[in-house]
Chain A
Amino acid sequence: MDELRKGFHNDLDEARAELVRLAASVTEAIPRATAVLLDGDLEGADYMIQGDDEIDARSLDLEERCYRILALQAPVASDLRQVVALLKMIADVERSADLVCNICKAARRIYGHDLDPKLRGIISRMGEQAQQLYTAAIESFVENDAAKAAAIDDMDSYLDDLQKQFVQAIFESHAAGRIDLQVAVQLAVVARFYERIGDHAVNVGERVRFVITGWLPEHHGAQRYRLRADDTGEMPRIGTVQDGDGTP
């Protein structure tokens, strides 16, 4: 049969495409921020920091586009999950762009300080891993691939390990007197930025799974909470009403 509501579905496809473009901008910015940090490129840092305004503007435009779709088209079922997920993903992508920006700001603060080859190596690997996570998140979104989206969580564990190794390497470098305390603190914060970018990619992957299945990993925790509340006889704070049919 003929598809109805073509205009609405075109709007939705266009909103999805814009999210992909936004996320692609962030993905491309991650290696550039790493290069700015490792090369002490002050001009590059300023350029990247200014570039974040464009991401902010595009995120707002896309958010408003989603509000319009909700208000004017009253989407339901998978279309509704799509728009709700888009709104959540915009926030993740926008925040990731801010974190990329923060890496460039940290680059300005540690300008002029030499870093150990070991520290530089782990920074490179964290940047590569964060970029791979984001690439996988976008691909799973474009391809509606729940399995690929689920795999992002495991990829993130490697980034978390790198962050821990990096913090250890900072301690060693500081103890040996090769970096001062101020630089050590800045580097620890940078590691946290990469790790958080990875977390946002994981969130995007979770939203992709939600669009496809209507399920979120938090449902496990919510279920545990309800079971615990049942054991203790206390009323859970979250409604568990399944029917809501108003019958007396």
Chain B
Amino acid sequence: MRGLTKEYVIRRFLMFLLTIWLGATIIFIIPRLAPGDPVAAMISRMINQSGYIENSAQLIEAWRKKFGLDDPMYIQYLRYLWNMVRFDMGYSLSQFPQPVIATLRRGLPWTIGLLSVATILSFLFGNLIGALLGWRRTPKWLKRILPLSLSFTSIPFFMLGIILIYIFAFGLNWFPFSKGYSDSTPGLNLRFIVDVIYHGTLPAFAIVLTSMGGWALGMRGMMISIDSEDFLILAQAKGLPMRRIFTWYAVRNAVLPQFTALALSLGGIVGGSILVEYIFAYPGVGYQFYQAIVNLDYTVIQGIAFLLIMATSTAVLVIDLIYPLIDPRITYQKK
């Protein structure tokens, strides 16, 4: 591929592994710095729920052994790393004995489906609005109207979400209030897919409305800063059609830094969007994340954090590798 060398790809991949290892290690250390014993905390929560548990002291003992909390720290650490490599993140504490990975596996498709579509749509709309705002030849009336579309960015999401639910779900009854699907059985059939889209529209709309403003402002700034570039003047002198100058000379150059930001926000998707999923009771990772925090479910929190590290590093790795295709000035080949 253009601009890539084998050494660079290998070096970059090792860097990728190193990043994940560092992240995983930090997640390992931090909970162990906190005071308290997770097993004791779990048992006491069970006692709270059911009133009384026989032989709780022995139970704590047995579970500490089962979870390997009696082993020396380095053995725990090595076992933890080995488990992480196999995506074995242990058991959820609040939904014991369900494995964390099963919990995440349930939430991920919803989150990825909703957020990737919403992120890409807001990237497209936001950059288009920003490009038009920053382009000198944009019709005046359009320049007056477009900033209105950005005013949603300044409304806090929890307010906007509630307003949208009030108008479109409660008032107009166009969309459902919450949940990812209603009565249809999950599967690859048309009825279910339509159902999912029907449920996803309102949350996706809310995300696009609130986040496209950020893209638009960044893009507008870039468009203005390249506006006086000589190659734009030359393109005009060449008599090129305005549309071609706009797309291939202005936007094509202005949008470059936006791609890095896009990679980062796509990587961050797997963490879910807590506010969105909470307000719309969407069954994704963000909702699980919220519940894990409320229930002090450390293993799930750890699992989501690890997933975030994986996804962000992967997204950055991918953008690094395809950047020479987007911007020909970037090359990893030595001249």
Is B truly associated with A? no
A interface vs B, CB < 8 Å?
none
B interface vs A, CB < 8 Å?
none
